[in-house]
Structure 1
Amino acid sequence: LDRAPEAQRLTAYDEDHLADYIRLLDTDDEGADWRDAAAHIFGIDPAAEPERARAMHESHLARARWMTEVGYAYLLGPRAIE
């Protein structure tokens, strides 16, 4: 997907991309250029597809942040969500 899910619950896509979310959070924390992150994590060339690369990076980084605030509870089980 070019855009990360926006569902208010954990999705199969989220589970499949947890490593990408962690990598995005790490690169953002390190101050890495978003273009480098998009190229390495998503395998997209930001010079060739700048709008697509930026949208992918932004939506997935937003989802990664959501995972740290809300989504992680779904990984912990029903009691963590209540």
Structure 2
Amino acid sequence: MAQTPSSICTGGLCLAAILDMTSVAPAFDDIAPVSNELTDYDRAHIKLYMRLLDAADDGAEWTEAVDVLFGIDPAQEPKRARQVHDSHLARARWMTQSGYRQLLRRPTDRD
């Protein structure tokens, strides 16, 4: 279900202002990676992770974020929508805690 910017404004915050709705996200899995290592999937979805974090930090409803970012209608697919949102948000948070370090390493660096 496509949202218009005016339809996703809550509490004075507009999700459209928080999220760049013009870009197309790469294909996504229903469950984000669960690993202590940064994956190619993570690298391909860094922008999506940042957008999820911004939406969460700005108080956007998870239902709005999953609709806008993943194109999943939570009314039609509530379990899948929640799973996709929560697993990707958890991975995004992992990236802010430790995964980002792996992005900063040179390819020749070793642990």
Both proteins in one fold, TM over 0.5: yes
The percent identity for this pair of structures is 54
- Determine the C-alpha separation between the residues in 1 that align with 2:97 and 2:86: 17
1:28-47 → structure 2 map (5 Å cutoff): 28-47=56-75
**For residues 50-61 of structure 1, what are the structure 2 equivalents within 5 Å?**
50-61=78-89
The size of the alignment, in residue pairs, is: 82
* Cα deviation, residue 56, structure 1: 0.5
Instruction: Give me the TM-score of the superposition, normalised by structure 2.
Output: 0.70
Counterpart position of 1:6: 34
Distance 1:81 1:42, change over 3 A: farther
1:61 CA drift (Å)? 0.3
Name the structure where helix makes up a greater proportion of residues: 1
Gaps (5+ residues) in structure 1?
none
After TM superposition, the score normalised by the length of structure 1 is 0.93
Higher gyration radius (CA) = 2
* 1:76 partnered with 2:76: no
Report deviation, 1:12.
0.4
Evaluate the alpha carbon distance shift between residue 68 and residue 81 of structure 1 in structure 2; reply closer, same or farther with a 3 A threshold.
Answer: farther
- 2:31 alignment partner AA: R
Aligned-residue Cα RMSD (Å) equals: 1.6
* Runs of 4 or more consecutive aligned structure 1 residues displaced over 2 Å after TM superposition: 78-82
Task: With a CA cutoff of 8 Å and minimum separation of 6, indicate the structure with the bigger relative contact order.
Answer: 1
Cα distance, 1:77–1:35 mapped onto 2, change above 3 Å: same
CA distance in structure 2 between the partners assigned to 1:81 and 1:42 by the alignment:
35
